[in-house]
Amino acid sequence: MATYTPPLRDMQFVLHEVLNVTDELKLLPRHADVDADTINAVLEEGGKFASQVLFPINISGDTEGCTLDKTTHEVKAPTGFKEAYAQYVEGGWPALSCDPEYGGQGLPLVINQCMYEMMNSGNQAWTMYPGLSHGAYEALHAHGTPEQKATFLPKLTSGQWTGTMCLTEPHCGTDLGMLRSKAEPQADGSYKITGQKIFISAGEHDLAENIVHLVLARLPDAPVGSKGISLFLVPKFLVNADGSLGARNPVFCTGLEHKMGIHGNATAQINLDGAIGTLVGQPNKGLAAMFVMMNAARLGVGNQSLGLTEVAYQNAVAYAKDRIQMRALSGPKNPELPADKIIHHPDVRKMLLTARAYAEGGRAFAIWTALQIDKELHSDDEDERKESADLVALLTPIIKAFITDNAWIATSHCMQVFGGHGYVKEWGMEQYVRDARINMIYEGTNTIQSLDLLGRKVLGDNGKKLKAFGKLVQTFVEDEGTNEAMQEFINPLADVGDKLTKLTTELGMKAFGNADEVGAAAVDYLRVAGHLVFAYFWARMAKVALEKQNAGDPFYTAKLATARFYFAKLLPETAGLIRTARTGLAPLMEMDEALF
């Protein structure tokens, strides 16, 4: 009953009509040959994999969940997951954006971005297995020794092996400075790692023959806190000199969490009992090395929620066009039926359009950001690499927190469209809500993202990165200043930009007096910043749609209507957020701890 159609047309609109990615990619030596036909062909095939292989095992994967054999410590993923992964590997998908030096196809990240969106729409829990692997690939690619790279990157690129990131311990998640796992140097230059890790996504499973754990631990006599943490590579099976699998390393799954959602992904408790590992990067610099992986993972989490928003929207639309209930208040809209289709009821449309505007706005934002990463990695202009890196740094917490908060709203709305039928499992709508909820928590809670944005990325460099993004907005506003048809989009965009600038200055002054003012305002601030970004991309999309609206393709009509909806019904949320941000710290700290 559930349905999913890859949004290829909308992706092509963003890629080719709004962002002109092939023109941009032409300027990057590595990607100069990537043309639109290649991009479209890859995404069409990728869409088939997502909709025909992953989507059919999404609801069943949720119902069945993962199972742990406590004697062998082996985990079985839900029925069909292993076979889908085999198809994924056979199709060469893990290699899509990987380095050709290690067997990758070297395609730009904009393609990977779209591919992952579709896979997340198809099945978030499944997609976390290759998602974590790709994060491990990136961390090793950036910080691994030549030997580590030679041994592990080809296997991660092919997908033959998968990866994890082992950070959290029972007493510390956000505050990794408190972690206790220990690494003892061995005579042969390796380390024996001992400790207990929890919440390890894709931590144990039967999809691949080996699992490459990236583990944070402390060396003997390491400084206390976050400056004494090192990163280690700990494979499930040791690897022989010839690349074949050796002995089982004592890194065992001792339990699986029973969770609200993402049941198809194994959230493992991992016990390391003198497991053999090798150091990745410099001693005591493990957090920095891991952050390569975490930044990629944060963008990935935003993408999970983007995928959920899209698929929830599609299903809610299908239901709203089919379900009949009540007459419109203004008179029958389907007089031939015993009641009107619920898509004629204004608030049903409001719920649907909310999801649609968040999905399409998020898609444009996320693809644009992926393009910035391609520039950051492959531009031959150092300034451009730096500019792109700054924009990505600024926008990463917004992608993570704003898109995941929006998906929580959107998936809940889409479920509500189904009424009571949304609350029962058979339609899959409540699963989207449950799956979406974790995205607000892991890879740094959304509060942590907001502190990263306001404290570090904005105030931490005196607003320089924010100004760089603001300049893009300003240029666009000025360029369209004489375009009458664009005023309905440009004016509110300029307005929210001005207000964010003023708010930033005000908060900066306050934070100067008391650093906790940052924590009091950061969550509201991030949502206002997120709306500025969305307003910018919606205005850019509206511009293209306005230019082409008479071309006879109703796609542009829909795009314009959704843009107008965004500016009328979603952007005004900023009015309340700016007010609450400005009320500051005092109303939060007045009450003594004991009185809670």
Residues from 226 through 265 that contact a second copy (CB under 8 A):
257-261
Cβ(453)–Cβ(397) below 8 Å:
yes
Distance of closest approach, residue 255 Cβ to a second copy, in angstroms: 11
Burial of residue 1 (CB within 10 Å: 0-12, 13-18, 19+) is exposed
- Among this protein's residues, is 443 annotated catalytic? yes
Which amino acid makes up residue 315?
Answer: N
Decide if residue 406 touches a second copy (CB under 8 A): no
Decide if residue 359 touches a second copy (CB under 8 A): no
Decide if residue 60 touches a second copy (CB under 8 A): no
Maximum distance among all Cα pairs of the chain, rounded to whole angstroms: 83
What is the Cα–Cα distance from 1 to 355, expressed in whole angstroms? 20
Decide if residue 345 touches a second copy (CB under 8 A): yes
Decide if residue 438 touches a second copy (CB under 8 A): yes
1, 187, 241, 595: which one binds a second copy (CB under 8 A)? 595
Decide if residue 352 touches a second copy (CB under 8 A): yes
Binding mask 467-506 for a second copy (x = CB under 8 A): ----------------------------------------
Burial of residue 49 (CB within 10 Å: 0-12, 13-18, 19+) is buried
User: Is the Cβ of residue 383 or residue 590 nearer to a second copy in the bound state?
Assistant: 590
Decide if residue 522 touches a second copy (CB under 8 A): yes
Catalytic residue selected from 169, 443, 480, 517: 443
DSSP 455: I
Region binding a second copy by CB under 8 A among candidate stretches 131-139, 287-295, 296-304, 520-528:
520-528
Decide if residue 347 touches a second copy (CB under 8 A): yes
User: Is the Cβ of residue 256 or residue 276 nearer to a second copy in the bound state?
Assistant: 256
Q: Retrieve residue 476's tokens.
A: 């666009």
Decide if residue 564 touches a second copy (CB under 8 A): yes
Element (H, E) at 471: helix 464-479
26, 514, 544, 549: which one binds a second copy (CB under 8 A)? 514
Decide if residue 425 touches a second copy (CB under 8 A): yes
What is the Cα–Cα distance from 316 to 55, expressed in whole angstroms? 16
Region binding a second copy by CB under 8 A among candidate stretches 6-14, 65-73, 100-108, 409-417:
409-417
User: Is the Cβ of residue 22 or residue 412 nearer to a second copy in the bound state?
Assistant: 412
Distance of closest approach, residue 481 Cβ to a second copy, in angstroms: 24
Contacts of 369-373 spanning 24+ positions with Cβ under 8 A:
369/113, 369/299, 369/395, 369/396, 369/399, 370/108, 370/109, 370/110, 370/112, 370/113, 370/299, 371/19, 371/21, 371/24, 371/25, 371/108, 371/109, 371/110, 373/109, 373/299
Residue that has been written with the tokens 């931590």 in this structure: 203
In three-state secondary structure terms, 338 is coil
User: Is the Cβ of residue 92 or residue 177 nearer to a second copy in the bound state?
Assistant: 177
Decide if residue 550 touches a second copy (CB under 8 A): no
Contacting a second copy within 194-233 (CB under 8 A): 198-199
1, 187, 241, 329: which one binds a second copy (CB under 8 A)? 329
Cβ(192)–Cβ(186) below 8 Å:
yes
Decide if residue 349 touches a second copy (CB under 8 A): yes
User: Is the Cβ of residue 32 or residue 178 nearer to a second copy in the bound state?
Assistant: 178
User: Is the Cβ of residue 51 or residue 411 nearer to a second copy in the bound state?
Assistant: 411
Nearest to 140 by CA among 154, 129, 127: 154
Which amino acid makes up residue 213?
Answer: H
Decide if residue 294 touches a second copy (CB under 8 A): no
DSSP 281: S
Q: Which residues contact 32 (CB under 8 A, 6 or more apart)?
A: 25, 26
Decide if residue 569 touches a second copy (CB under 8 A): yes
List, in sequence order, every residue forming a beta bridge with 276; answer none if it has no partner: 192
**Buried-exposed string 183-207: b where 16+ CB fall within 10 A, e elsewhere:** beeeeeebbbbbbbbbbbbbbbbeb
Contacting a second copy within 442-471 (CB under 8 A): 442, 445-447, 450-451, 455
Decide if residue 440 touches a second copy (CB under 8 A): yes
Decide if residue 420 touches a second copy (CB under 8 A): yes
44, 209, 426, 498: which one binds a second copy (CB under 8 A)? 426
Binding mask 143-182 for a second copy (x = CB under 8 A): -------------------------x---xxxx-xx----
Q: What are phi and psi of 275, to 5 degrees?
A: -70, 140
Catalytic residue numbers, as ranges: 443
